[in-house]
Amino acid sequence: MARTKLNERQLDVLRRICHGGTPITSDDSGIAATVYALRTRGLVTTAWAHGRWTAAPTEAGLRHLAPTDVTPAPRPSAGAPSAAPEAAELISRVQQAGGNLRIANPTPDERARWRRALHSARADHLVPDGHHLQHTGRDKGDLVITLRPGPPPRRPTPPGNTVPVVEDLPLDRLHPAAVTAHIPACPECQPRARRILHALCRAAEAKNYTVSNPEPGSAACLVITIGDSSFPLSFHEGAYEVPDASGAKYAWQRVTARTTRPSHEFELSLEHSYVHRGRRSHWGDGQRWRLEDKLPALFREIAHRAQTEYARLQVEHREKEETRQRWLTAMQQAHTAHLEDHRLEALRTQVQAWQEATAIRAYCDALEAHHVAPDAAEAATSWTNWARAYADRIDPVLQDPRLPEPSAITPEDLRPYLRGWSPYEPKRK
């Protein structure tokens, strides 16, 4: 069986996944691009759980390191379906046919069986080195399977949906934001990184977005603003570990120290946000593409997030305005209720004063009608005169009463009438 050629870094990461003591997860962002490359070759898988993926070796990955590194994983049980024999037969028949195998109008079951064999041949890396498989007639007509030299072709980018990166652009012609951006990359990769940022800046401005550098202390290298939404972008260069033999004194000495080397593989990421959880936020170099190819996808995600945040802000604004209107209505009702209570209290006070004045006058009438001894008549008259004068002073009818208005209403005066609303702002307690 043909074995996929891996570079030193990929072999090291594959060994760590197969028999390393610490699981490799998406938290290891420095080697994520390498894990994706291994996954593309069918050597590892990434299973999602609890918000992150964990890398695990496939049977092909274990076989790649066998027999010196790991023990091959057990093969599937007899009851589990396997397309490996059909994949080997497929490669053999294509080679015998001179690299161009035609199956005349197969039945649906046969067509599906050949497609499974094609997938298995690619996944198990049975395709000879330096070649790739292509086929036509997926659903109807003759099924033609061709073994072609060279790597698999890249998927074409839709016309008008590209972000051109000028490879030979002089550094003195870069966008100012790309020149001043802090890029954590090795010196050899700095020119390419800044040309990518330059292309991002020009494409963003062509879409009427605003481009700026982040605030000091931010981990981002660029901020793209659409309307009221800002999207910080972080640039990252991967790294990988290799044995460090610099400390070994003898050729036979076992090397246990390790050192880190830059991978020259880039990754651009959007700042994590729970508002957009579950959305893609990382784009980087891969086995079949470069970061430059993924810039349109990055812009599509930014546009989607901007639209989502605009809709969310519109909803929040509408809800705040509705809350404000309910609060204003509650405040108006509280004013009315407070004024009503103030008038009722004034009315009750006036009625009580009127009743008291009426009672005093009736009392004076009774005193004057009562026969008083001659020696006490003058004193009784003085008393009734004072009493009648007091009744006139407290009688509201004689004071021409009008509709009473409170002198001033404070927020705390309205609190008892607001039913949980704050008297100062449109909020509930």
Boundary residue ending a domain (122, 149, 176): 149
Q: Are residues 88 and 171 in the same domain?
A: no
Q: Are residues 62 and 135 in the same domain?
A: yes
Residue 282 domain-assigned (yes or no):
no
Alpha carbons within 13 angstroms on the beta-carbon side of residue 279 total 20
Q: Are residues 33 and 126 in the same domain?
A: yes
Residue 3 domain-assigned (yes or no):
no
Q: What is the pLDDT of residue 3?
A: 55
Q: Are residues 173 and 101 in the same domain?
A: no
Q: Are residues 62 and 137 in the same domain?
A: yes
Q: Please give the Cα distance from 177 to 195 (Å, whole number).
A: 11
Which residues contact residue 396 at a Cβ distance below 8 angstroms, ignoring those fewer than 6 apart?
A: 350, 353, 354
Taking only the tens place, the pLDDT of each residue in 12-33 is: 888 888 876 677 887 776 787 7
Residue 198 domain-assigned (yes or no):
yes
Identify the domain containing residue 196 by its residue range: 157-243+261-273
Q: Are residues 362 and 401 in the same domain?
A: yes
Q: What is the pLDDT of residue 41?
A: 81
Closest C-alpha among 14, 30, 16, 15 to residue 266:
30
Residue 226 domain-assigned (yes or no):
yes
Residue type, 368: E
Sort strands 100-103 and 131-136 into parallel, antiparallel or unpaired: unpaired
Model-wide pTM > 0.75: no
Q: What is the pLDDT of residue 195?
A: 93
Q: Are residues 70 and 202 in the same domain?
A: no
Write phi, then psi, for 284 (nearest 5 degrees): -155, 180
Q: Please give the Cα distance from 231 to 209 (Å, whole number).
A: 11
Q: Are residues 364 and 237 in the same domain?
A: no
Q: Please give the Cα distance from 419 to 226 (Å, whole number).
A: 41
Distances from the Cα of 277 to the Cα of 27, 221, 225, 304, angstroms: 16, 22, 20, 13
Strand partners, 6: none
What's CA 418's distance to the chain center, in Å?
38
What 3-state class would DSSP assign to 309? helix
Q: Are residues 76 and 133 in the same domain?
A: yes
Write out residues in the chain with pLDDT < 50, as ranges.
1-2, 68-82, 157, 159-160
Q: What is the pLDDT of residue 338?
A: 92
Q: Are residues 127 and 186 in the same domain?
A: no
Q: Which two tokens stand for residue 42?
A: 């069918």
Boundary residue ending a domain (104, 127, 149): 149
Q: Which two tokens stand for residue 259?
A: 């050192």
Give how many domains the chain has, as a whole number: 3
Q: Are residues 201 and 140 in the same domain?
A: no
Q: Are residues 109 and 207 in the same domain?
A: no
